[in-house]
């Protein structure tokens, strides 16, 4: 149930006037105008992650608190505000995107423990949800810094061999091998200029006998 997502953008528009959030935890208030219309929507499977990621630094530089209303997404700008609704039960919560993941095929969002409890994902471990982006600090369709993440690998040797192969093949890319808190290994490839099209091309061209290949936004 605990999915391994591994390893800031200035706000482009003024913060909205504070209003009560739909669901909060740890006294966190995520202010969203009641009239906010979604700027992006997707439906898919959600999962959740807690320990061993609790109190470790997330992708946005903050220390991850599994009791706060946050979530991980592979491609939404960090700092985006989204409404997550359980398609079956109707339970919903407002979350802030602070991390990257889930790095599992077929899943679109990884919730904090608090968010998972709020939208009835905690007990079953996964559930079908509707994700609606209400605010984003950067454009969704253009810009951004992009990379390819590959894994997970059970053995460091397998990750290392793939990293060496990719570094030889794409000499202008930056290839990083690292272990997740869950003990598995990952390879991340940052293409020249962190360009999305280059990253998409690399993801399309790359093959691996172990693990999966994901396009991921870094900012």
Res. 29 pLDDT band, cuts 50 70 90:
low
Question: How many residues are listed for the chain in this entry?
Answer: 219
Model confidence at 86, pLDDT cuts 50, 70, 90, reads: very high
Provide the strand spans (E) within the chain.
40-48, 70-72, 81-86, 92-99, 107-111, 127-135, 146-153, 174-179, 185-190, 212-217
Buried b (16+ CB within 10 A) or exposed e, 90-100: ebbbbbbbbbb
Residue 151 has pLDDT above 90, yes or no: yes
Across 1-10, average pLDDT:
46
pLDDT band at residue 28 under the 50/70/90 scheme? low
Choose among 151, 66, 77, 141: nearest CA to 110: 66
Q: Would the pTM of this model clear 0.75, i.e. be above it?
A: yes
Please give the pLDDT value at position 132: 98
Q: Which domains does the chain have, with CATH numbers?
A: 40-135 (2.40.40.10), 146-217 (3.30.70)
pLDDT band at 209 (very low <50, low <70, confident <90, very high): confident
* Nearest-angstrom CA–CA distance, 162 and 140: 30
Higher pLDDT, 188 or 18: 188
């Amino acid at each position: 149930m605990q999915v391994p997502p591994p390893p800031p953008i200035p706000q482009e528009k003024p913060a909205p006037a504070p209003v009560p959030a739909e669901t909060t935890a740890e006294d966190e208030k995520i202010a969203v105008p009641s009239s906010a219309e979604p700027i992006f929507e997707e439906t898919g499977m959600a999962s959740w992650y807690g320990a061993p990621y609790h109190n470790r630094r997330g992708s946005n530089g903050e220390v991850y608190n599994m009791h706060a209303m946050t979530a991980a997404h592979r491609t939404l700008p960090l700092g985006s505000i989204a409404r997550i609704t359980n398609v079956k039960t109707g339970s919903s919560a407002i979350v802030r995107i602070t991390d990257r993941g889930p790095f599992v095929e077929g899943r679109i969002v990884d919730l904090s423990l608090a968010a998972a409890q709020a939208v009835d994902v905690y007990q079953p471990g996964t559930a079908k949800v509707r994700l609606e982006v209400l605010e984003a600090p950067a454009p969704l369709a253009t810009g951004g810094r992009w990379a390819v993440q590959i894994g997970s690998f059970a053995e460091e040797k397998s990750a290392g061999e793939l990293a060496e192969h990719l570094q030889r093949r794409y000499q202008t890319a930056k290839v990083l091998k690292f272990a997740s808190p869950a003990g598995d290994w990952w390879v991340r490839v940052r293409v020249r200029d962190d360009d999305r099209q280059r990253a998409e091309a690399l993801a399309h061209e790359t093959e691996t006998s172990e693990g999966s290949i994901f396009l991921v936004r870094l900012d």
